[in-house]
Amino acid sequence: MNQRRTRLYEGKAKILYEGPEPGTVIVHFKDDATAFNAQKKEVIDGKGVINNRICEFIFTKLNDLGIPTHFIKRLNMREQLVHAVDIIPLEVIVRNVAAGTLSTRLGIEEGTPLPRTLIEFCYKKDELGDPLVSEEHIMAFDWARPQELDDMMTMAIRINDFMSGLFMGIGIKLVDFKLEFGRQYEGDMVRTVLADEISPDSCRLWDIETDEKMDKDRFRRDLGGLVEAYQEVARRLGIMNGNEPVERSKPVLVKSD
């Protein structure tokens, strides 16, 4: 039976519910896809189930490597239990290859390998379209403490090293990705932990051989085949075999012959 739960927050792709114990939260992955600051919206059957699994896989590996994340455990097809955190109002973007806003902003052709990994910060403010900001702004407006900024940069580099290798090993190029961090309170102590999600919604993943996109750009750019691409990422990671049905919310028509 479904227990009545307290909804804490509903975002574009996830809903947060109060967890079973103090200091815990349940993250529910929806099938909603949004882009361009939610001007483009669609429900893509099965996306939430795959993202929940991919995120579980990556966060578990990061926890094992000693990179603290909010992730505790996966609860079911669409939900995971996480530590409650206060989200630091910054998006940390890590880039290995030029794409997206970096390409449009600086006129660098998509697919150009960058001379070094770039880390960018955007201020999390939907009304403003999450503008790019500098460390100066972050310090001046106290969006993060100097120690937190240091923690985020160090973790971002370690996460990039781990994930680049992980994806390289399964024939996928990690072009760029977005991270969000939170403050986890433990008694009088506070520590910076990786929060939110890592999934093909928040990364650019290109097939190494063909440069085919296996991420949310399939939706942003109307390329189609999003669930199939996400499923292929999961299959290569060894976490879902390609034939496993994703939990669809609508009946699927089958041929009767």
Residues forming the site for ligand CDP (CB under 6 A): 91, 93, 99-102, 130, 176-178, 202-204, 216
Using the minimum distance from each CB to ligand CDP, give the nearer residue, 152 or 203: 203
Using the minimum distance from each CB to ligand CDP, give the nearer residue, 24 or 34: 34
Residue with tokens 């702004």: 137
> Whole-number minimum distance, CB 206 to ligand CDP, in Å?
11
> Whole-number minimum distance, CB 122 to ligand CDP, in Å?
7
Burial string for 227-252 (b: 16+ CB within 10 Å, else e) reads: bebbbbbbebbeebeeeeebeeeeee
Q: Is 49 exposed, middle or buried (0-12, 13-18, 19+ CB in 10 A)?
A: buried
Using the minimum distance from each CB to ligand CDP, give the nearer residue, 129 or 242: 129
> Whole-number minimum distance, CB 175 to ligand CDP, in Å?
7
| Closest C-alpha among 217, 245, 242 to residue 231 | 242
| Closest C-alpha among 94, 115, 65, 114 to residue 204 | 94
> Whole-number minimum distance, CB 89 to ligand CDP, in Å?
12
> Whole-number minimum distance, CB 202 to ligand CDP, in Å?
4
Q: Which residues contact 238 (CB under 8 A, 6 or more apart)?
A: none
Measured between alpha carbons, how far is 60 from 55 in angstroms, rounded to an integer? 8
Using the minimum distance from each CB to ligand CDP, give the nearer residue, 19 or 99: 99
Task: Find residue 123's DSSP bridge partners.
Answer: 90
SS3 176: strand
Query: Residue 124, Cα to own-chain centre: how many angstroms?
Result: 15
